Structure 1
């Protein structure tokens, strides 16, 4: 397998390499990381098949613009084939899947050989303990450029595990944050398994005003580096070994960032938001507006984009042996909430097969249905159409505001609002998630009834397990807490002395709802409205027997016992 730099520009979309089969070509990208230009896109051909690897950053000792140095070497007679002769250098891929793709398409031994020629920093520092590589990782160029994107940080921290054939897992996450009274508090989310109980999800629960959502907002800001701009003290204890943060919040009052607008970052996948808000369309073609609007269309639009992203990711990463097919997972998970045959996206009635470049032998994927007297045209999206659709063309033609439609026996499935939102969440999370993602979910009980809440947690565990990812949920939901082990439950309590954070002293997993409620919300010390009503009735009816007769057949056993006790019998 050759690795070649031919001084070719990447352009907006890098075309397949013209260097033949079994070659990785590096294409120069002039992306500026604080005056450093180290980024290269790649074109990889293995046995005649194009394999997506993503981009890679290469640092050369005492150089800030790598491609200029490589161009000079070629001008002096170098043939462009790696390793670079007589040069100290290291590299870091932008995605940890870079070497996972190579090891699955070739072998671990071949992936190691490529890592040695590219002088992968994670491999050299963590496994080979190469002093030259270690010295380069202490430079400004490494910190400002090779560790600029979150994907690159993840690749450096955990990339070496690919070569050891070890599972890459998210570690416990320590975070320092400002509580509701601005006091600095510490919390550690326990993701590392200490027993066979599920540890993929941590829950933050407490009364209103205890600062649960505020914590999630600070985690997002720290992940995006906003705390460094404002010199805020909230921060991660250590650089987190996660690849991205995905926010799910359908509250009309939340204020999470909706995108990376205004942030200088080449990796647009480090942060994804799914909620009721979106950026407004600018009056200037091709420009983004600074205005954010609240709209019910946002979940629909994002679900279409995300479903097509599932197809694209399955096509890109399907060669990775550990890859869980996203499109299949969408079908499996959503079918637990309601029955359907397949999902589809709406396209204009004028669209023909050629417009989405659907192969004629698979033309049944396009079909027409009459809905409320109006003919609509759909394209079926399933694991069987992964390689049949031109996703670029399909993205151009889909009517995103219609959302994803589910069909059963050839007819659209009528969904409740909760079922719609459940399906949007599943599709959106799967469309965005990468291995080792962190999901932040704010109060899911606001938009899901209790049965769907339980299905939601079950769905979440399945997806997180498939993609070695974790989640933090801010909630008031007791049924959610009952699905989580006690060391993953963080109870926020406001006191006269400030915020207290505790794990329950009893096992919450499969625990008693009333006991959990009493511990979290202090039910025993809170007078309930029905008790006020009982006392009022007793006060107005001195004859308890008469009161019991009036309410005959309308009281439960507990109330009857309480009234009997008031009488003294």
Structure 2
């Protein structure tokens, strides 16, 4: 093992080289190379440090020999854990993790250090905590405690799971089946329906059921709640809504902040609202580590058709995102960027992301790219996203097997009911989707109604508007005139 640079000899093993990455004064990043079977494997960056923190190189040779008396802790990455699973048997794997004080392997130590904040003044960066501000700058707690830990025991990063929500009558309201081995990813779901059908209310109901179940589980188990009753639950929920008309979402409190996050706007006439969003984006990017910034750069490539996003991607590549550049974005662009950063840093396995009307503020190309970006984030982390929408553009991006239609039912007290739709949506023509879902409503309003009324009006002169009629309007005129002739 080497300390400051790679110096690979003929001896098989792991080689560590400290890099220059600075986490608010903490320097804990080491590049790792594994040399086995005459092959060099680059495993990326991991965190290794003395605890409490000392700004010194870790002498890995002495660590291996057992001559270091100070406490050493470490935290790896996905490729690192995968390689160790491939190269070591169980006992060797266990000894390796114990030697390096791997926090993903020892979850009791992980929880203890994560909860026991130990702030150290790091010069201009102010008080900072080694665990949260360095080790967890590239990872979130749920991912490490569950997915990374499973990998240290020889398991995989993703696993199959099912979650269902039941209403107050114990009837299944909605269910999710996630299989990471599916050829077509199943991470996106949606509720579609007319205005007033109860889409947003259903999202709130799902959220309230989730928070109630979490609170009950926590009260029963105390502070040491083992959320592995999560065989039936999501581990955390992120609710995103920018609607100016819906404000009574379940609040985030000190009791539920561990597993619930609301992302939205406090609508007002405050002219600094846009600047507030920009400041939040700037803060999130500054706090994000290399892994998250790299993921953001990859995601932003989906928006390269947009000049400003393309410009931002060049800045992200240089590890900076100036506040002035963020402020130049439109409202829709800012909302997209804020949401993407929040999701990249907070989603892990068994995260439920709920987004109410993602089509707000976005034109069709941005909306399509936004949906695909969300899919990539939640699929990569093995989470789930549930939309509520009335946009055919959103439905074009989601398989019909994951789409529910919601409508009011007067026979059961004007409550909303959900039904799976029976026609294909992914890649389907948007006009067909709109006509199938909103058919009669569409034909009784807008230009449809205008043409129909004009046909039955004997005094209306169609020649005066023929120059502006589109193909569908002309077809409707022909159909309605044929009907009128029969009558």
Would you say same fold, with TM above 0.5?
yes
Partner of 1:481: 395
Decide which of 456, 461, 474 is 2:375's aligned counterpart. Answer: 461
Indicate conservation of the 8 Å contact 1:201/1:470, yes or no.
yes
Alpha-carbon distance in structure 1 between the residues aligned to 2:56 and 2:160: 31
Partner of 2:166: 176
**Cα distance, 1:294 vs. partner?**
10
Q: Does 1:328 align with 2:297?
A: yes
Structure 2 portions without partners, runs of 5+: 2-23, 29-46, 61-68, 109-115, 117-139, 219-226
Alpha-carbon distance in structure 2 between the residues aligned to 1:336 and 1:177: 43
Change (3 A) 1:154 1:523: farther
Q: Does 1:306 align with 2:284?
A: yes
Once the two structures are superposed, residues 225-268 of structure 1 have per-residue CA deviations (whole angstroms, 9 ceiling, x without a partner) of 5774799xxx9995467554333221123337698443276x5x
**Cα distance, 1:489 vs. partner?**
0.8
Alpha-carbon distance in structure 2 between the residues aligned to 1:293 and 1:263: 32
Decide which of 262, 265, 278 is 1:276's aligned counterpart. Answer: 265
Alpha-carbon distance in structure 2 between the residues aligned to 1:522 and 1:552: 25
Alpha-carbon distance in structure 1 between the residues aligned to 2:437 and 2:480: 29
Indicate conservation of the 8 Å contact 2:239/2:263, yes or no.
yes
Once the two structures are superposed, residues 204-235 of structure 1 have per-residue CA deviations (whole angstroms, 9 ceiling, x without a partner) of 1122333322333344445555774799xxx9
Secondary structure of 2:240's partner? strand
Map 1:174-213 onto structure 2 (within 5 A).
174-177=164-167, 185-192=172-179, 195-213=182-200
Decide which of 251, 254, 277 is 2:246's aligned counterpart. Answer: 254
How many corresponding residue pairs?
A: 391
Change (3 A) 1:508 1:220: same
Alpha-carbon distance in structure 1 between the residues aligned to 2:463 and 2:434: 33
Alpha-carbon distance in structure 2 between the residues aligned to 1:215 and 1:197: 27
Change (3 A) 1:221 1:309: farther
Once the two structures are superposed, residues 329-352 of structure 1 have per-residue CA deviations (whole angstroms, 9 ceiling, x without a partner) of 2542443433566449xxxxxxxx
Q: TM-score, normalised by structure 2?
A: 0.62
- Structure holding more helix per residue: 2
Decide which of 486, 492, 497 is 2:406's aligned counterpart. Answer: 492
Partner of 2:326: 404
**Cα distance, 1:188 vs. partner?**
0.5
Q: TM-score, normalised by structure 1?
A: 0.54
Structure 1 portions without partners, runs of 5+: 2-12, 28-41, 50-78, 83-92, 126-132, 134-144, 280-291, 345-379, 387-393, 406-413
Indicate conservation of the 8 Å contact 1:517/1:523, yes or no.
no
Map 1:29-178 onto structure 2 (within 5 A).
47=58, 98=75, 100=77, 103-104=80-81, 107-108=84-85, 109=88, 111-113=93-95, 151=141, 155=145, 159-169=149-159, 171-177=161-167
Indicate conservation of the 8 Å contact 2:278/2:326, yes or no.
yes
Partner of 2:223: none
